[in-house]
Amino acid sequence: MSMGNSSDVIVVGAGVVGAACAYYATRSGLSVTVIDRGPVAGGTTGAGEGNLLVSDKEPGPELELALLSTRLWRELAEPLPLQIEYEAKGGLVVASDAVAMDTLREFAKRQEKAGVPAEEIPADRLADLEPHLVPGLAGGFHYPQDAQVQPALAAAHLLRASGARIRLGEEVTGLLAATTGEVTGVRTTTGTVHAPHVVNATGTWGGELARRAGTELPVLPRRGFVLVTEPLPRVVRHKVYAADYVADVASGSAALQTSPVVEGTPAGPVLIGASRERVGFDRTLSVEALRRLAAQATALFPVLAGVRAVRAYAGFRPYLPDHLPAIGRDPRVPGLLHACGHEGAGIGLAPATGVLIAGMLSGAELPLDATPFSPARFAGGSGPAAP
């Protein structure tokens, strides 16, 4: 139980990953304090589209994490689907030509073996799912498990439901440690908070917090823009994206990459992405990125050509070089755990991340092998993320 400024666990970061870590840790019987230098969902979470995707992930550890999260998101959303704008609307991946369609078909076969259902949609049936799609596409695949939430609302509701103590507007400047090296808490701009465990859920700033703790995690920001249209009737029913989006997600290129990703929202606006580039924390509006997004979206949905884009915003995905998040104990700082580096999938992967972190903290059996996500892989070793 927490007393004064002490608790069992300190979670640094009030985005959706930090909120999920807090939520599942408290349900494991631990007392939790969440600290953030800004507001709830003030970083990457607040700039996200809220994608809960399995359709863009190759079979392997990340897909296993996504499948677990898909189930957990359904459980979390059951009592409050309207409050967090949860929609199990499915995803539609489309191919422009026969070559792209063959690529999608092979990808879907590999996913099916990993437990992901996908239905091939021939060209003449695409309009049944999306009446406003451009004619002439070669076909696509429908992924019924894909869903969406409003990420800031999801983070806020998870934090509220966790019962954790929340400290906002308070930056963590360093970790406290015993003479033997074990973590004993954190130092903030307003004082100290004590706990034997600290979870680094600071997203794109995960590398900076790691450095302040005396360790390293090679998290880099990967900038992306989203265009938001005026409110519309539901002209886009699913999350719709082109086949080359999957390749962009897996790419490690620092150059600007764009591929059309278009989806409607319950509130009416259509969200248009996706762009990726590594330019540090530069928030300068990229006219070229927005031009490409608009052109690609209207090529996919010609009806959008006459629609106003009312705003655009930037966000930074927390990128790790092997495209897997860091989830687990840091082998160099006893008591420090990482839960960051999810790149563009943090909202979708948040519940499974929270369950893993809670299991490691409480000693519970983990629902999947967490070894591939271990931060030890960045310390010259490949040790397991031991509970």
Could you give the domains of the chain?
A: 9-47+152-219+323-378 (3.50.50.60), 91-144+220-319 (3.30.9.10)
Task: Report the side by side order of strands in the sheet with 191-194.
Answer: 172-177, 183-188, 191-194
Spatial separation of the C-alpha atoms in residues 212 and 369, rounded to whole Å: 29
Q: What pLDDT is attached to residue 248?
A: 67
Amino acid of residue 5? N
Q: What pLDDT is attached to residue 80?
A: 87
Closest CA to 354 of 9, 3, 57, 4: 9
In the structure encoding, which two tokens stand for residue 34, read together?
A: 């969440």
Task: Report the side by side order of strands in the sheet with 336-340.
Answer: 165-168, 32-36, 9-12, 197-200, 336-340, 326-329
Spatial separation of the C-alpha atoms in residues 349 and 327, rounded to whole Å: 11
Q: What pLDDT is attached to residue 382?
A: 38
Note the pLDDT tens digit of each residue in 190-199: 999 999 999 9
Look up tokens 């519970």; give the residue. 364
The pTM score is: 0.94
Inter-residue contact 36 to 165 (CB < 8 Å): no
Per-residue HEC secondary structure of 201-258 comes to: CCHHHHHHHHHHCCCCCCCEEEEEEEEEECCCCCCCCCEEEECHHHHHHHCCCCCCEE
In the structure encoding, which two tokens stand for residue 65, read together?
A: 């994490």
Spatial separation of the C-alpha atoms in residues 254 and 372, rounded to whole Å: 24
Note the pLDDT tens digit of each residue in 283-307: 999 999 999 999 999 999 999 999 9
Inter-residue contact 221 to 319 (CB < 8 Å): yes
Q: What pLDDT is attached to residue 250?
A: 66
In the structure encoding, which two tokens stand for residue 275, read together?
A: 């762009």
Spatial separation of the C-alpha atoms in residues 207 and 155, rounded to whole Å: 22
Spatial separation of the C-alpha atoms in residues 304 and 310, rounded to whole Å: 13
In the structure encoding, which two tokens stand for residue 248, read together?
A: 């962009």
Inter-residue contact 366 to 352 (CB < 8 Å): no
Q: What pLDDT is attached to residue 2?
A: 43
> In a structure prediction context, what are the per-residue pLDDT tens digits for the chain, which is 387 residues long?
344 589 999 999 999 999 999 999 999 999 999 999 999 999 999 998 899 999 999 999 999 999 999 999 999 999 989 899 999 999 999 999 999 999 999 999 999 999 999 999 999 999 999 999 999 999 999 999 999 999 999 999 999 999 999 999 999 999 999 999 999 999 999 999 999 999 999 999 999 999 999 999 999 999 999 999 999 999 999 999 998 887 767 677 778 898 899 999 988 999 999 899 999 999 999 999 999 999 999 999 999 999 999 999 999 999 999 999 999 999 999 999 999 999 999 999 999 999 999 999 999 999 999 999 999 999 864 333 333
Note the pLDDT tens digit of each residue in 205-216: 999 999 999 999
In the structure encoding, which two tokens stand for residue 364, read together?
A: 């519970």
